[in-house]
Amino acid sequence: MISTGRARTFWVKVLIITLLFPVAYLLMLSLATQWIFPSVLPASLTLDRWSTLLGASNLFGSLLLSLGIALSVATISTFAGFFSSKHLAYHPQRSLWIRLSYFPFVLSPVIYAAVLYFYFIKLDLAGSFVGVILGQLLIAYPYSVILFSGFWSERIQQIEKLTQTLGGSRWQIYRRVLLPMAQGLLLVCFFQTFLISWFEYGLTTIIGVGKVQTLTLKVFQYINEANFYNAALASSLLVLPPIILLFFNRKYLFRQRW
């Protein structure tokens, strides 16, 4: 019995190391001065790469750009999805609308971008900040609709009618009833759509034509240049915000995002 308990503890430790190792590895690679075959550990560590990041480096610009795009996509898709999902959920064709919202959401973003690229060129949106936001919205918004569709129950509708009967205007119903009631879900949706945008590569590279250099594009660029140390640094910048988010609330990270 004791040996079974010890074996179990051992395997739990192995599991923890396996799960946490990637973060440690990326951080170590980003700090390494030189780490060539066949060394298992880097020759020495340096903070130089991280400190230059804080200067006016390209990577810092990409970090701000990714942040700007992700915050815009999350804000717009959360509120637009909340508003639309209400009308779709109470519509007699609810089932059809919800089914339709799955198609753009599960379709490969890069293939979706490939078939839409022509329209982005015609609208003069290819290769622009706004174009990338719009492109990512085409995925994040349907996700938001799906997420909120479960919120609009009969109970919510009755509460809404009651508030209306008591003289509440449309704006008051949203501000004082619906938004406070959906607060938790709004936060989940905001963070999830933020992550959809933050993690996005394929669609961004097509619609952005490589000009909108988000952090994910930087990672790929560094891999192509065989600059693995900078790729690790850019990767660490991508991974750290969601891990910080994980400290605050796990439910923001554990949701279906495909």
Partner 1 sequence: MRISEQKLFNNKAEGIGILLFLVLAVLPLVLGIIYALLYSLGVIGLVSDGFTFAYWQRALSDAEFWLSIGYTFYIALATIGLTIILSLFLSLYFRKELRHGLPGFAIYVPLAFPAIVVAFLFFQLLSQSGLFARIAFQLRLIADSSVFPELVNDPFGIGIIGAHTFMATPFFTLYFMNLYRQANLKEFRQVAESLGASAFEQLRRIVVPVLLKRAFPTLTLYTIFVMGSYEIPLILGRQTPQMMSVLVIRKLRRFSLSTIPEAYITAIVFIAIIIALLTVLFKSKNFSYDLDR
Q: Per residue in 58-91, is it b (16+ CB within 10 Å) or e — as a string? A: ebeebbebbbebbebbbebbbeebbebbbebbee
Residue closer to partner 1 (CB basis): 56 or 165: 165
Among 16, 64, 130, 162, binds partner 1 (CB under 8 A): 16
Among 27, 65, 138, 147, binds partner 1 (CB under 8 A): 138
Footprint of partner 1 on 142-161 (CB under 8 A): 142, 145, 150, 157, 160-161
Among 119, 175, 183, 248, binds partner 1 (CB under 8 A): 119
Phi, psi dihedrals of residue 64, rounded to the nearest 5°: -65, -40
Instruction: Find all residues with CB under 8 Å of 255, minimum gap 6, and list them.
Output: 147, 188, 192
- For 150, the token pair is 């479960």
Q: How far is the CB of 180 from partner 1 (least distance, A)?
A: 19
Query: Is residue 99 close enough to count as binding partner 1 by CB under 8 A?
Result: yes
Contact between 168 and 180 under an 8 Å Cβ cutoff? The reply is no
- For 86, the token pair is 């209400």
Footprint of partner 1 on 53-72 (CB under 8 A): none
Query: Is residue 79 close enough to count as binding partner 1 by CB under 8 A?
Result: no
Among 7, 162, 179, 246, binds partner 1 (CB under 8 A): 246
Contact between 74 and 197 under an 8 Å Cβ cutoff? The reply is yes
Stretch that binds partner 1, among 54-62, 67-75, 107-115, 175-183 (CB under 8 A): 107-115
Query: Is residue 86 close enough to count as binding partner 1 by CB under 8 A?
Result: yes
